[in-house]
Amino acid sequence: MTAEVTIKDGARLTPHPLRAVILGEVHARPFTAIDTPRRILHFGFDTTGEAAKADRAALADFCARRNLEPLKPGAKHHRVSFGGATLRWEQHSEFTTYTWELPSDAGPPFHPVAASLASPMSNVPQPGPLLVALDLHLLPDGKDGKIKIESLFDRASLAVAENSDGSALFATDFQPDPSGFVRVLVLDRGLGPERAGAVVQRVIEAETYRTFALLGLPEAQRLAPSIARIERRLAEVTEEMRRAHQLVDNQRLLDELTALAAELEAGAAASHFRFGASRAYGEIIQLRLAAIGERKVDVFPTWTSFLARRLSPALRTCVTTEERQSNLSEKLSRAANLLRTRVDVELERQNRDLLKSMNDRTRLQLRLQTTVEGLSVAAVSYYVVGLFHYLMEGLHQKGVPVDVTIATALFVPVALLAIWFLVRVIRRRHIGGE
């Protein structure tokens, strides 16, 4: 598909890089015409991760070995015909489907149920774990009573409906048969190949997405005990918070809340994609059945009403589990913030008391230092005065006319002032150096 637009004067407009992709998405999976009667085997495989690349390579090799139309790089769907059968391959975000259109048997529908039904898949390696196996028969109406629908399915879970104008009837019991296939019967009442292809594809997609939508239920059931335990423990921790007044107790409770929050977030992160996918698949199922336009047939439930009773509770369980995770995460966060605030306040109180104690010790040290300075001035002055006295005696003995006693007495205040001043200068220098 060209992405450029040419106007009258021959000039071309530069398209957006994604224009061709956007325009082609509407035609990505077109309906294919199907002639009646036809038997269709449909398989869905989990191909997350590297399995999708391996599956694409296997299909490309399959087409190359049989000289079939090659698989285009990046293509998400491919259709080839060989040996009277037609293969339609589609790759989705987390699964891949193989749909084989085979000639219908001349006998009654789904008979005989042979173990070799999956033989078409023996031509290619299995892409991944099998999740969907569907055996669909597209047959003429048979209003003469030849086809007894109730005899083909389990009456207790049989769902039957017509399309909007009654030109098709489709039925299933959603249960695997002895060969492992879910049986679906589509009766053609004048559909024509194009409309038959559309109805068949929508029916197949409804069953495929039903299976993948239910993958979220085991995940919800797995997480339920853990969520319930965290809810109970949160209530217990909250009650303990009312009685805890010591810092060590609050810190212990905070550590436990942090561990519970980490456990909850790990489960939520692991299940986020699965629950989101289940919601999306559930919506797609409703859209496919709405496009068919179901009408009730006799006393049988339609597919929509049957799935509303069986599928909706499962999807609601997934939604409820996700909501519980979100609400519990908020409660854990509020409780942790409250405890963290209490711990911070207690630490600030301890820091305040510590600073007050340090201030008291500092004042005591200052007083002690002042006392020591006074004693130091007295002691140093005593030694200085003593040295001065020896000096005066020496001068007096050498004949210098000086009164030793008076000179020493006069020197005492001078020595005290000088030593005191010197000590103050030294202390100021030390304080300034700090």
- Angle value at C-alpha 100, between 97 and 106, nearest 5 degrees: 145
**In the predicted structure, residue 109 carries a pLDDT above the cut 80:** no
pLDDT in tens, 152-175: 888 888 999 999 888 999 999 999
Q: What percent of the chain has pLDDT over 90?
A: 39
Q: Are 78 and 32 in contact (CB under 8 A)?
A: no
Q: Which residues are within 8 A (CB) of 150 and not within 5 positions of it... i.e. 6 or more apart?
A: 158
More confident residue, 272 or 431: 272
Q: Are 147 and 114 in contact (CB under 8 A)?
A: no
Please tell me whether residue 100 adopts helix, strand or coil conformation.
Answer: strand
DSSP assignment letter at 32: -
pLDDT in tens, 387-405: 888 888 888 788 778 787 8
- Angle value at C-alpha 85, between 83 and 87, nearest 5 degrees: 120
Mean pLDDT value across residues 292-321: 90
Identify the band that residue 420 occupies on the pLDDT scale cut at 50, 70 and 90: confident
CA distance 271 to 264: 11
Mean pLDDT value across residues 236-251: 82
Identify the band that residue 113 occupies on the pLDDT scale cut at 50, 70 and 90: very low
Q: Are 138 and 35 in contact (CB under 8 A)?
A: no
More confident residue, 328 or 348: 328
Question: Which element (helix H / strand E) includes 189?
Answer: none
- The tokens describing 199, both together, are 């109805």
Taking the C-alpha atoms of 249, 251, 256 and 261 in order, what is their torsion angle to the nearest 10 degrees?
Answer: 140
Q: Which residues are within 8 A (CB) of 60 and not within 5 positions of it... i.e. 6 or more apart?
A: 70, 71
Mean pLDDT value across residues 113-135: 77
Taking the C-alpha atoms of 263, 267, 272 and 276 in order, what is their torsion angle to the nearest 10 degrees?
Answer: -130
Identify the band that residue 107 occupies on the pLDDT scale cut at 50, 70 and 90: low
Mean pLDDT of the chain: 85
Question: Which element (helix H / strand E) includes 410?
Answer: helix 404-433
* 78-87, 107-116, 126-135, 325-334: least confidently modelled range: 107-116
Mean pLDDT value across residues 323-346: 87
264 dihedral zone (left: phi>0; alpha: psi -120 to 50; beta): alpha
Q: Residue 262: what pLDDT?
A: 92
